[in-house]
Amino acid sequence: MSAANQDQARATELRRLLNHAAHAYYVLDAPELEDPVYDRLYRELLELEAAHPELITPDSPTQRVGGTPAAAFSSVEHRIPLLSLDNAFSSEELEAWYGRLLKVLDREPGTALPMVGELKIDGNALALSYENGLLVRAATRGDGERGEEITANVRTITSVPLRLLLPHPPAWLEVRGEALIPDATFAAINAERVERDEAPFANPRNACAGTLRQLDPKVVAARRLDFFAYTLHLPQEPPQGPRSQWECLQWLQRAGFKVNPNAEVLPDLAAVEAFFSAWDTGRRSLAYATDGVVVKLNDLRLQDAAGFTQKAPRWAIALKYAAEEAPSRLLRLACQVGRTGVVTPVAEFEPVPLAGTTVSRATLHNADRLAELDLHAGDTIVVRKAGEIIPEVVRVLGELRPAGATRLALPNLCPECGSELVREEGEAATRCVNSSCPAILRGALRHWVSKGGLDVDGLGAKLIEQLVEKGLVGSIADLYRLDGALLASLERMGAKSAENLVTALAASRAQPWHRQLYGLGIHHVGEVSAKALAAAFPSAAELATAAATAAAAPPPSITAVFGIGAEIAQSLQQWFATPANRLLLEQLAGLGFSLAAGPGELAASAAAAGQQAPLAGQTFVLTGSLPSLSRSAAQALIEAAGGKVSGSVSKKTSYVVAGEEAGSKLSKAEALGVAVLDEAGLRALLEM
Q: How confident is the model over 317-352, as pLDDT tens digits?
A: 999 887 778 899 999 999 999 888 889 999 999 998
pLDDT in tens, 455-477: 998 898 899 999 999 999 999 99
Query: Binning pLDDT at 50, 70 and 90, where does residue 611 land?
Result: very low
For residue 124, pLDDT over 70 is answered with yes
Q: In whole angstroms, what is the distance from residue 557 CA to residue 530 CA?
A: 15
Q: How many CA atoms lie within 13 A of 356 on its CB side?
A: 20
- Examine domains 3-65 and 325-409 and report if their fold is the same: no
Q: Summarize the chain as % helix, strand, coil (round to 5).
A: 40, 20, 40
Beta pairing class for 380-386 and 431-432? unpaired
Active site residue 120: yes
pLDDT of residue 440: 92
Could you give the angle at which helices 540-547 and 579-590 cross, rounded to 10 degrees? 170
430: helix, coil or strand?
coil
Q: How large is the average pLDDT for residues 365-381?
A: 92
The active-site residue out of 120, 296, 531, 665 is 120
Answer left, alpha or beta for residue 391, where phi above 0 means left and psi between -120 and 50 means alpha. beta
Fold designation for 325-409? OB fold (Dihydrolipoamide Acetyltransferase, E2P) (2.40.50)
Q: How confident is residue 600, by pLDDT bands cut at 50, 70 and 90?
A: low
Quick one: pLDDT band at residue 53, thresholds 50, 70, 90? confident
CA nearest neighbour of 612 among 643, 573, 646, 652: 643
CATH code of domain 610-686: 3.40.50.10190
Q: What is the pLDDT of residue 27?
A: 57
DSSP 8-state code for residue 70 = P
From the list 160, 133, 120, 83, the residue with the least C-alpha distance to 260 is 120
Residue 609 has pLDDT above 50, yes or no: no
> Which of 392, 377, 440 shows the shortest CA–CA distance to 414?
440
Q: Is the pLDDT of residue 98 over 70?
A: yes
pLDDT one-digit tens code per residue, 230-242: 999 987 655 567 9
* Choices 3.40.50.10470, 1.10.287.610, 2.40.10.340, 1.10.3720.10: CATH for 3-65: 1.10.287.610
Identify the pLDDT of residue 683: 77
C-beta atoms surrounding 88 within 10 Å: 20
Going by pLDDT thresholds of 50, 70 and 90, the confidence category of residue 415 is: very high
Rounded CA separation 128/177 (Å)? 8
Between 566 and 124, the more confident residue is 124
Average of per-residue pLDDT across 643-651? 80
Decide if pLDDT at 272 tops 60: yes
Mean pLDDT, residues 631-641 taken together: 72
pLDDT tens digits, 18-30:
777 766 655 565 6
- pLDDT of 603 reads 42
**Which residue(s) pair with 134 in the sheet?**
131, 163
Q: Compute the CA torsion angle 286, 288, 293, 295 (nearest 10 deg).
A: -110
Q: Which long-range contacts (CB under 8 A, 24 or more apart) does 367-374 make?
A: 367/409, 367/410, 367/423, 367/428, 367/430, 368/428, 369/345, 370/345, 370/408, 370/409, 370/410, 371/409, 374/398, 374/407
3-state DSSP assignment of residue 526? coil
Q: What is the pLDDT of residues 502-546, one digit of tens each?
A: 999 999 999 999 999 999 999 888 887 888 899 889 999 999 988
Alpha carbon distance 44, 53 (integer Å): 14
3-state secondary structure of 511: coil
pLDDT digits (tens, 9 = 90+) for 205-256: 888 988 898 888 888 988 999 999 999 998 765 556 799 999 999 999 999 9
Residue pair 417/435 in contact by the 8 Å Cβ criterion: no
For domain 87-320, say whether CATH 3.30.470.30 is its number.
yes
pLDDT over 60 (residue 68) = no
Residue 309 clears pLDDT 50, i.e. is over it? yes
Q: With bands split at pLDDT 50, 70 and 90, how would you rate the model's confidence at 610?
A: very low
Q: By the 8 A CB rule, do 229 and 259 touch? A: yes
Q: How much is the pLDDT for 71? A: 53
pLDDT at 396: 93
**Residues pairing with 290 in the sheet:** 121
CATH superfamily of 434-508: 5' to 3' exonuclease, C-terminal subdomain (1.10.150.20)
Q: What is the DSSP string of 130-159?
A: EETTEEEEEEE-TTSSEEEB-HHHHTT-TT
Q: 685 or 520: whose pLDDT is higher?
A: 520
Print the SS3 string covering 448-475. HCCCCCCCCCCCCHHHHHHHHHCCCCCC
Q: What is the pLDDT of residue 238?
A: 54
Give the confidence band of 604 by pLDDT, cuts at 50, 70, 90. Answer: very low
Domain boundaries in the chain?
A: 3-65, 87-320, 325-409, 434-508, 513-607, 610-686
- Ramachandran class of 477: left when φ > 0, alpha when ψ lies in -120 to 50, beta otherwise: alpha
Which top CATH class is 513-607? mainly alpha
